[in-house]
Structure 1
Amino acid sequence: MYIFRRISVCLLFFVFYSNAQQETLKWHTEKNFSVQGKIQGDRTLPYRRFPAEMRSKVREPVWNLSTNSAGLYIDFYTNSPTIEVKYQVKGELAFPHMPATGVSGVDLYVLDKEEKWLWARGNYHFGDTISYKYRGFKADLADKLNYFRLYLPLYNSVKWLKIGIDSDTTFSKVDTDGKQKPIVVYGTSIAQGACASRAGMAWSNILERKLHRQVVNLGFSGNGRLEPEIIDFISDMNASVYVLDCMANFGSGKELGPEEAKRRLKQAVKDIRKKHPDTPILIVEHAGYSNGEVQPGRLHTYTVLNVATLEVFNELIHEKIPAIYLLKKEAIGLGIDSFVDGTHPNDFGMLQYAEAYYTKINEIEN
């Protein structure tokens, strides 16, 4: 009985302490910050990638994937030594080939005085409500406003989210949308972020930090298929570069073989050109599979698709379509250690993707 009482007292103390700690935090919602990384942000719900009118224009699987918050982020200033993030999501927390920290987790970075993004470790808990707690920042981050970036989940849909800071500290939002033309990426599950271990390790988010520029992530898993409705949507905004990285989704059959890939790719480029005569368009080859040298069927799948991609590129050049560029499989450089499941890259593969894009975009713009 004595031991039971001691345990009860300890539990009561823990609950009291936790509640008291919560009361010392000041919470901020989307009323206090801007969710960035999307097109037409003022017409789109905070944690969505498409505005509502797109629901009637695209296939249901595309719409459902568009509610995932891949590539979305929140920039804010605070001088708080403690940051806590709480939120709920709608889908599965984890996949067999991708951890909860990547599917459903957030990821926090801080910009240092040399303009370098540093990663912050958070203690996380996954349940009906997900929480990340960040504390113990180094001395030169204390007592001054610091620029933070919070990346949102790659493969889940956020219902609500709030950011807590110490009640005697400052929080202010950062608005960067519209200040620079973004890089717009239309792609597959790899573009969406599969299978990064955490949100910040999706290649589009790595590239964003390397370039210090917004990268809009329109990866739609297996449903990134160069569809005219999406091409029309991305053509409605002024991008600095349009990236078409959908080839991996044309090897699955379902009437989506190399010939259909060629037709859709060429039409997509021409449709963008109608509205944007000179904006660079980067066409990306299939990056391959890690088992291609062992299982010939897989080698054939990406080889014929890359032959088709190169044919379209050469045709566009022959037709004197301006500012068309090609990122080749060899430049991405994935190897047998770059994948989780032979199809989707691990963090090392994501770094290789980002580096290849970084090199190519610098080549295009300089």
Structure 2
Amino acid sequence: MTLPCITPITTEYMRGVVETENTPTGLILHRLPAWARAQTSDPQLTMAEAQPSGIRLVFTTEATEIALQALPTKRVYTGLPARPDGVFELVVNGKVQQQASIPNGDILHIDMAKGTATQETGTAGFASFAGLEAGIKSIEIWLPHNETLRLVALHSNAPIAPIAAPTAQQRRWVHYGSSISQGSNAAAPTGIWPAIAAMAGNLDLTNLGFGGGAMLDPFIARILRDRDADLISLKVGINIVNGDIMRRRAFGPALHGFIDTIREKHSNTPLLLISPIHCPIHETTPGPTSFDFAALAKGETRFVATGNPDDVTQGKLSLQIIRDDMSAIVKGRQQTDTNLHYLDGTMLYGARDFAMHPLPDHLHPDGTSHRLMGERFAELVLAKNGAFAS
């Protein structure tokens, strides 16, 4: 790359990041701080938190050509089709204009049947954007929501300058959720439903959506408590069911404790609890969720519920029970907490939506449904009389 201006990437150019880590091959972006990472041994959460969902580089420039140098880590699953390369999106003055990918990088070979993973070392590449309009402009580069990477530098044909964040017109929104919030099955980083909602409402998003990781971990509550935020939302339930990690007796107190921790410093911040979207395999059937191995043998990814619906009488959790309990918990706390709100997740994606746009793998919405969810969130939550109304 021969562009004359090379800018080291520092936190002043970043939005939505929690912590950065310097390495010899580039800057790793984290959505959990080191102290929290030390409190979990879950490899799935460790991988998800280092995937920069919702993180973007923001700056102004007169450049007409920009290239982001980075070293991605590609995931290759034994027996499954190759995953598409992560997508970088260029947003100019608030409008998505271009997409790019970096085909090279490290490769992580994962064998789900054996439970093994091996890494192959690669080289950095460039996500390049050319033909930009002349003159000073506001630029955002949204990073892949589902691909770990290390940032090296920004290359451009004119200098760049950071933008103070957030702007006076932007409210800071911190959202916590599962793989659906991280963006599983979305095609691009601005196509995940929290990003769609944030862009519609001019919100400064920090996305703490972690694939397989929305388990009401206490360290997440402390992160939310200590994070500067004007708005906080929690979309919980699906991972607790498909991980089969707790029973009904534990769920209510865990959710109460999670809210209590956040309220230690955000006593009046609008706090929205969102229950799970419609997911037929777990509406009345508890977890755990498993891969459909017959589908895997055909090179397809699908999930199945392995629990027994009769076990709900013994305290196991289904999505319907989760919704009932979340609604009751919020209703009870609203007697003394008027800034606590509840949204039934099926208002974002319900049974009728499933009939028109089924979950491709039986668990995660597709790109069309992500857009539907983001637009509905804006209509229901950000509009007048919504929980996050201006």
- Structure 1 residue 23 corresponds to structure 2 residue 2: yes
What does residue range 251-262 of structure 1 map to in structure 2 within 5 Å?
Answer: 251-262=241-252
- Structure 1 residue 38 corresponds to structure 2 residue 20: no
Cα deviation digits, residues 223-268 of structure 1 (max 9, x gap):
1111111101210123212111121112125333444332222221
What does residue range 1-366 of structure 1 map to in structure 2 within 5 Å?
Answer: 22-31=1-10, 34-39=13-18, 47-61=29-43, 62-92=45-75, 99-101=83-85, 104-111=86-93, 117-128=94-105, 129-137=124-132, 141-142=133-134, 144-166=135-157, 169-177=158-166, 181-289=171-279, 301-317=318-334, 319-334=335-350, 335-336=353-354, 337=357, 339-359=359-379, 360-362=381-383, 363-364=386-387, 365-366=389-390
Change (3 A) 1:189 1:257: farther
Change (3 A) 1:357 1:123: closer
Q: CA deviation at 1:344?
A: 1.0
- Structure 1 counterpart SS, 2:128: strand
**Native 8 Å contact 2:214 2:240 kept in 1:** no
Which ranges in structure 1 are unaligned for 5 or more consecutive residues? 1-21, 112-116
**Native 8 Å contact 1:247 1:261 kept in 2:** no
- Structure 1 counterpart SS, 2:75: coil
Name the CA distance, whole Å, in 1 between partners of 2:375 and 2:163.
27
Q: CA deviation at 1:30?
A: 0.8
Change (3 A) 1:340 1:98: farther
Look up the match of 1:16: none
- Structure 2 counterpart SS, 1:92: strand
Moved more, 247-256 or 277-286: 247-256
- Structure 2 counterpart SS, 1:76: strand
Name the CA distance, whole Å, in 2 between partners of 1:207 and 1:98.
30
Name the CA distance, whole Å, in 2 between partners of 1:159 and 1:321.
42
Name the CA distance, whole Å, in 2 between partners of 1:98 and 1:33.
35
Look up the match of 2:117: none
For residue 88 of structure 1, what is the amino acid of its counterpart?
Answer: L
Look up the match of 2:302: none
**Native 8 Å contact 2:30 2:50 kept in 1:** yes
Q: Count residues with an aligned counterpart.
A: 329
Q: CA deviation at 1:47?
A: 1.6
Identity of aligned residues (%): 17
* TM-score in terms of structure 1 length: 0.79
**Native 8 Å contact 2:28 2:149 kept in 1:** no
Name the CA distance, whole Å, in 2 between partners of 1:126 and 1:219.
25
Q: CA deviation at 1:152?
A: 1.1
Name the CA distance, whole Å, in 1 between partners of 2:19 and 2:232.
16
- The structure carrying a bigger helix percent of its residues is 1
Change (3 A) 1:224 1:98: farther
Q: CA deviation at 1:25?
A: 4.2
Name the CA distance, whole Å, in 2 between partners of 1:186 and 1:97.
30
Name the CA distance, whole Å, in 2 between partners of 1:292 and 1:60.
23
Change (3 A) 1:248 1:277: same
Name the CA distance, whole Å, in 2 between partners of 1:78 and 1:314.
49
**Native 8 Å contact 1:32 1:172 kept in 2:** no
For residue 359 of structure 2, what is the amino acid of its counterpart?
Answer: F
**Native 8 Å contact 1:84 1:131 kept in 2:** yes
Change (3 A) 1:162 1:40: closer
Name the CA distance, whole Å, in 2 between partners of 1:94 and 1:198.
20
Change (3 A) 1:71 1:338: farther
Change (3 A) 1:57 1:125: closer
Name the CA distance, whole Å, in 1 between partners of 2:268 and 2:165.
24
Q: CA RMSD in A?
A: 3.1
Name the CA distance, whole Å, in 2 between partners of 1:41 and 1:182.
20
Which ranges in structure 2 are unaligned for 5 or more consecutive residues? 106-123, 287-304, 310-317
Name the CA distance, whole Å, in 1 between partners of 2:373 and 2:247.
24
- The structure carrying a bigger strand percent of its residues is 2
